[in-house]
Structure 1
C-alpha cells in the first residue's frame, strides 16, 4: 500500500494462512512500513510489526469481534520504539458479503486499544523512558454505499463501490516519559473504494482539516505466510 499527503507511507503486509475453530478464526499478519512527515523532508520511520489476530464472526445476537495483539519495533533518526499493542473491536470490518446496493447503510465499528512502548536512544541503545496510552479509541459511523463506478486505482481501472463514513480516532491520555499529555480527537471523512472483483479496498480517500490524502493498494498476491519473531533492541 502507498499513501501520499502530509505523512507519506509505504506498507507491505503478509498474512499467514488462517486457522479455524468452531467459533473463531486466527491469523498472523506481518507488516513492514516506512513513513515520514513530508514537511520535514527527513529520513523515514521504519516499522516492523507482528499482529496476532482472532476474529469471532457475527451471530444473530452479536456483531463480529476482532481481538488483536501486536509486537512493534520502530526506528527513526534519533530513537527506537519497542513494545506491544492490544485491541478489541466490534462491528463491520469486511465488506465481503455485505449489502452493497446503492443507498444501503452498513453497520458501524468501534475499536479500543492500549499501547506500551519503551523508548531507546538510536545510537547508544540506552533506555530513555516509556510511552503509554491505556485507552485509545477508533469509531466509525454508519457507512453509506454509493453507486458502483469505474475508477482509476494503482492496479488499473476497476469497477468499485464507494463507501463513505466518518472516522474518529482518539489517543486518550498519553503518558510520555514522566508527563501526561491530553490529546484531542481527530475526525476524518473517508471514502473506501471497494472492488468486488478483487474482494479488497483498492483505494481510500481521506479528508481531514480540509486536507486530502489518498491510500492506494498497489498489489494483492496470495502468499503462504511466514513465521518470525521481532526482537527487542540490544
Structure 2
C-alpha cells in the first residue's frame, strides 16, 4: 500500500457522491443508422440511453453489456459489437454512451433493420440524502469450561435508502412502476402506470468522484427498489419521495489501479 500524507488529504462531501440506477429494457428496440455495408454505427433511441455498464466491472459500458441483432424478414441474427460509442443527446447537448459499433457493417441484402437491448442508466433526482446499510447473519457460540466465544458469519443484507425532491415523475415511473396492464381504457394523450406485484429487477452504483476524477464506484447487482412512501409535502416545503433499494449480491468496489 502506498504511503500517504494523511494531513494533506481533504474530506469529500455531498458533491462527490450519488446513486445511479440501471433499468433493464424489457423489449428490444430498433436502432437508427444506415444499412449499406459500410456504416457500422447504430444508435439507440434517446429513451434508452445512457447505456449502463451492466458488467459492473468497468466505468464505461462494454460490448458485452448490450445484445444486438439484425433482422431480415422474420429471421433474427445476433451480431458482434466492437465498442459502445458516445452520442450527443439532442435535448441536452450532453455526450452520453448511446450507440454501438458493430464488428461487421450490415448489408441491405442481409438485414432490414438493427435491433438491440441494453440497461438504461437513470440517476434518481433530485437526490438529497443517501444512506447505506449492511447487516450480516451471525451465530455466536461458546462451550463449557471456556471463556472463549466464536462467531460464525452468514448471509449479507445490503440496502440503499435515498430521499429525493420531486422534479418530475419520471424516476418514479421508471424505477418503481410498470405500464398499466388492466382492462380499462387510458385517455388519449396520457400514460398509465401501476406498481408491479413484485419489485422490478434493477442494477445500481454509487459513484465517488473528486471533480472529474473517478475515485471509485460501489456496484450493486440484483437490486430491487420499493417506495418508502408516495410524494408528500408540508406547507412551504418542496415535494419529496423516498426510495429503498435492496441488494441480493455482495457489492463490488471498482477503483483505479494505483500508479
Instruction: Pick the TM interval, shorter chain.
Output: under 0.3
Higher share in strand: 1
RCO higher in structure (CA 8 A, sep ≥6): 2
Per residue, is there more helix in 1 or in 2?
A: 2
